[in-house]
Amino acid sequence: MASAEPSRKAGYGRHVSEPPAALGGGGRPRLGPRLEGALRAAVGEGHLLTDPDLTASYERDWTGRYGGPAAAVVRPGTTDEVAAVLRVLSAESVAVVPQGGNTGLVGGGVPRAGEVVLSLRRLRGDVHVDPEDRLLEAGAGTTLAEAQQAAREVGLEVGLDLAARDAATLGGMVATNAGGVRVVRHGPLRRRLAGLEAVLADGTVVDRRGGLLKDNVGYDLPGLFAGSEGTLAVVTRVLLRLEPLPASRVAAFVALRAPEALGTPGAGRATATALQVGREILRLGGIEVLEVVYPPGVRLVCEHAGLPAPPDPGADAWLLVEATGDDEVTTARLGALLDAHPLVSATAVALDAPGRAALFAYRERHTEAIARLGVAHKLDVAVPLSRLARLAAEVVDAVAARWPDAATVLFGHLGDGNLHVNVVGPPPDDDEVDALVLGIVLAHGGSVSAEHGVGVARLPFVSRARHPGDLAAMRAVKRALDPRGVLNPGVLIPAG
Ligand SMILES: Cc1cc2nc3c(=O)[nH]c(=O)nc-3n(C[C@H](O)[C@H](O)[C@H](O)COP(=O)(O)OP(=O)(O)OC[C@H]3O[C@@H](n4cnc5c(N)ncnc54)[C@H](O)[C@@H]3O)c2cc1C
pLDDT in tens, 428-461: 888 999 999 999 999 999 999 999 999 999 999 9
In this structure, the residue with its CA closest to atom 41 of ligand 1 is 171
Task: Calculate mean pLDDT across residues 302-317.
Answer: 96
Q: Which residue(s) pair with 241 in the sheet?
A: 135
**Number of Cα atoms under 13 Å in the Cβ half of residue 428:** 18
Q: How far is the CA of 126 from the centre of ligand 1 (A)?
A: 20
Ligand 1 centroid to Cα of residue 178, in Å, is: 7
pLDDT in the model for residue 327: 64
CA 181 to ligand 1 centroid distance, Å:
15
Decide: residue 318, CB within 10 A, 0-12 exposed, 13-18 middle, 19+ buried: buried
Within 6 A (CB) of ligand 1 lie 4, 6, 62, 97-105, 108-109, 120, 140, 162-164, 168-169, 171-173, 175-176, 178-180, 229-230, 234-235, 367, 451-452, 455, 488, 491
* pLDDT at residue 134 is higher than 90: yes
Protein residue with least CA distance to atom 8, ligand 1: 180
Q: Which of 78, 176, 235, 304 to mutate to test the pocket of ligand 1 (most atoms within 8 A of CB)?
A: 176
Q: How far is the CA of 276 from the centre of ligand 1 (A)?
A: 32
To 10 degrees, the CA torsion angle through 329, 184, 102, 430?
130
Site to substitute for ligand 1 among 99, 191, 236, 370, most atoms within 8 A of C-beta: 99
Distances (CA, A) of 430 to 15, 66, 181: 10, 13, 30
Mutate to test the pocket of ligand 1, among 8, 65, 105 (most ligand atoms within 8 A of CB): 105
Instruction: Tell me how far apart the alpha carbons of residues 293 and 47 are, in angstroms, rounded to a whole number.
Output: 43
168 CA from centroid of ligand 1 (Å) = 6
DSSP 279-341: HHHHHTS-EEEEEEE-HHHHHHHHHHH-PPPPSSTT-SEEEEEEEES-HHHHHHHHHHHHHH-
> Please, are residues 450 and 414 in contact by the beta-carbon 8 Å criterion?
no
Q: Which atom of ligand 1 is nearest to the CA of 188?
A: 11
pTM: 0.92
Whether the pLDDT of residue 13 is over 90: the answer is no
First to last CA, the chain: 45
Return d(Cα 375, Cα 429) in angstroms, integer.
10
Sign of the torsion angle spanned by Cα atoms 295, 301, 304, 307: negative
Cα(108) to centroid(ligand 1), Å: 9
In the predicted structure, residue 479 carries a pLDDT above the cut 80: yes
Q: Is the pLDDT of residue 147 over 60?
A: yes
Mean pLDDT of all residues in 180-206: 97
Letter for the amino acid at 140?
A
Facing residues of 447 across strands? Answer: 382
**Strands (DSSP E) found in 30-75:** 48-49, 72-74
Return the half-sphere exposure (C-beta side, CA atoms, 13 A cut-off) of residue 106. 30
d(CA 31, CA 464): 36
pLDDT tens, position by position, 38-75: 999 999 999 999 999 999 999 999 988 899 999 999 99
Q: Distance from the CA of 32 to the center of ligand 1, in angstroms?
A: 31
Q: What is the mean pLDDT of residues 270-296?
A: 96
> In percent, how much of the chain has pLDDT > 70?
94
Question: Which residue out of 1, 74, 103, 300 has the highest number of ligand 1 atoms within 8 Å of its CB and is therefore the one to mutate?
Answer: 103
Q: What are phi and psi of 350, to 5 degrees?
A: -140, 140
